[in-house]
Amino acid sequence: MEAREAYTNCPKYIQARAPEAVAGTAAPEPAAERSPSLGTEQREFVARADTFFIATTHPERGADASHRGGAPGFVRVEGGRRLVWPDYSGNAMFNTLGNLAVDPRAGLLFVDFEKGNTLQVSGSAGIIWDEGRAAEFAGAERVVEFEVKEVVETRGALPLRWRLEEYSPFNPGRP
């Protein structure tokens, strides 16, 4: 892999977390499970999330990975195969949205910061520019709808845990 460009993501909606080493014995080998849709516990986990990461690609510019954050519950789960989230004002570079406009394929990564589990969700996304739809989410400028194609849950994927220190003060509807 070769990086051609690097720049910072907008830190506006990033929750403050402190890393912690896992105490005790060696962690068990990670165990991955695949499915074509989100199960009940996975839907509940996503519905409580305050953070996820999104990977997109552009045919000429390459891959991009970005952070998305908000108050817990900012991602709406509409069944096992559909997610909807607000898009807030950020760094005004529109890399993720620009990529999705030309290639709707995307991958999402949700991290269980307390248990070290990960949930990878692949599928396709569409940008909803309708102001009425955006108004359903406090502070949203537009909305992204995501259709799930595959889910990979990996228990014990990460050797660290992260303790929430503070929610971003910029989160609309923050706790």
As for how many domains the chain has, the answer is: 1
For residue range 95-126, list pLDDT tens digits in order.
Answer: 899 999 999 999 999 999 999 999 999 999 99
Can you give the residue range of the structural domain that contains 153?
Answer: 30-159
* Joined tokens for residue 57: 């690609």
- 108, 144 contact by CB (below 8 A): no
CATH number at residue 93: 2.30.110.10
Does residue 88 lie in a domain region? yes
For residue range 133-149, list pLDDT tens digits in order.
Answer: 999 999 999 999 999 99
Residue 121 pLDDT: 98
Q: How far apart are CA 146 and CA 137, in angstroms?
A: 16
Does residue 107 lie in a domain region? yes
Q: What's the whole-model pTM score?
A: 0.91
Alpha-carbon distances, residue 27 vs 20, 77, 137, 145, 160 (angstroms): 14, 31, 39, 36, 10
Residue 7 pLDDT: 67
Does residue 148 lie in a domain region? yes
Does residue 98 lie in a domain region? yes
User: Among the residues of 113-168, which ranges form H helices?
Assistant: 131-134
Residue numbers in the chain where pLDDT is lower than 50: none
Does residue 174 lie in a domain region? no
Q: What angle do CA 122, 9, 138 make, to 5 degrees?
A: 75
DSSP conformational letter for 26: P
- 157, 7 contact by CB (below 8 A): no
Residue 21 pLDDT: 80
Does residue 171 lie in a domain region? no
